[in-house]
Structure 1
Amino acid sequence: MKTSVNDPFDVDICLRGLGNMISLIIDDVYEYAYVLTFKRSMKMYSKEFHDPDEVPVLDLAFFQNTGDLYVTNCAEANGKLVAYKLKLINILNIDEIHDFNDEVLDNEGDRYKPYYLMYKKSKSYKKLRQYYERLLVETIKCLFTYACVLTAQSYRVPSILRKQFNLPDDQCFRLLNTDDLHVQLLIELIIDLKKSLAELREITEKQLAKTIARRKKTKVEDQK
């Protein structure tokens, strides 16, 4: 069943749906870390670690020690998402098994969820990096939308609230209801994930600069 802006607003259902969405994003970021790792830095083990569900890496700290800055970024972003989800579980006393099997909450969790890339293994390392960046961008936007919904107490969010998203950080949160604990927590997570996104883009820019410099050097040497 599709969701609609005309759906009656229930704060508990909204937050539990958000919790389901966060869990899906956590799993998605984990998949990116896993596939990126065994495509490059740990490629020699790619046959053994061929599927993140069938052969999982249980120690998530592993991904912070691969030497791959993109994987490290995934791991750190995932840590931020997990920390937020744990806060939500504690505040709402969430039973995750129940919430994932509840049709209403499952449907609610799909309301704003970001694009999910299937068949990650079939994509190149470069494409995976680009899709991971897209996931971060869309996740940040989804979280901001939830902050707007909680502020408006309605799925029909006034356009003036939505438009704040494109403003600088010191301005984009000014119309949100920061007296609401859940809005506060979302703002904190948005700021943290924006840092991850900025760091990711910086990694890409530095690697691109290195590639350009290397090509120029090769071209000069070939002309000698």
Structure 2
Amino acid sequence: MSVAIENFVKAIYKNNMHDIKDTKPGNIAKKLGISNAAATDMAKKLAAKELLNYEKYQELQLTEKGTKMALNVIRKHRLWEALLFKMFDMSLHDIHREAELLEHQTSDLLAEKISEYLGHPKFDPHGDPIPNALGEITTKNTSISLSEAKEGQTYMISRLMSDDKEFFEFCAQNQIKYRNTLTVSKQFVNNKMTQILIGSNTIVLNEDFTKIIYVDEN
């Protein structure tokens, strides 16, 4: 399959897994940086290939075949992120950017070799689950967004759901890393802000950040 097709089904899968669950062609177009017309044309093309279900003005839904393709691409992407992070200690933004290129050039055989080399990891350095070779995510998600966390409780950072360079630079500068611990000292509900204590630093984060930082009770 082409890079464009793999990126399209991956975008639908990832959007469907987010809270907003908006998989209409216009939203997928925005995510991929293409026109609405191009997204609609692609949706019709993939519907003919039985990779998704298309109905005018409705959200796009992947078929079982489409979901398997998306998870296979995501598996390769996240394995590359784990390998690049381990071998070169690259930034979270850089490993994501490189994995975007490498995922499409990786055979199933190479993906399995990378997985074996890494000890079959279940999560990538962002905390995202890595599907297994059968396209299954075997881990249980118990995390909540930082915006939902309770005051006075200590949590472990379980996932950083972004691909934005500035976000990762901010996180790196403030010890906001996968598996680091933090304490929620105050939730400013009306202003949609959260004050946290991480290491020796007190930081106030707005909702743009707290909705993409996920934590588990420590």
Q: TM-score, normalized by length of structure 1? A: 0.28
Where is the strand percentage greater, Structure 1 or Structure 2?
2
Q: Which of 1 and 2 has higher RCO (CA within 8 Å, sep 6+)?
A: 1
Richer in helix (by share): 1
User: TM (normalized to structure 2)?
Assistant: 0.29
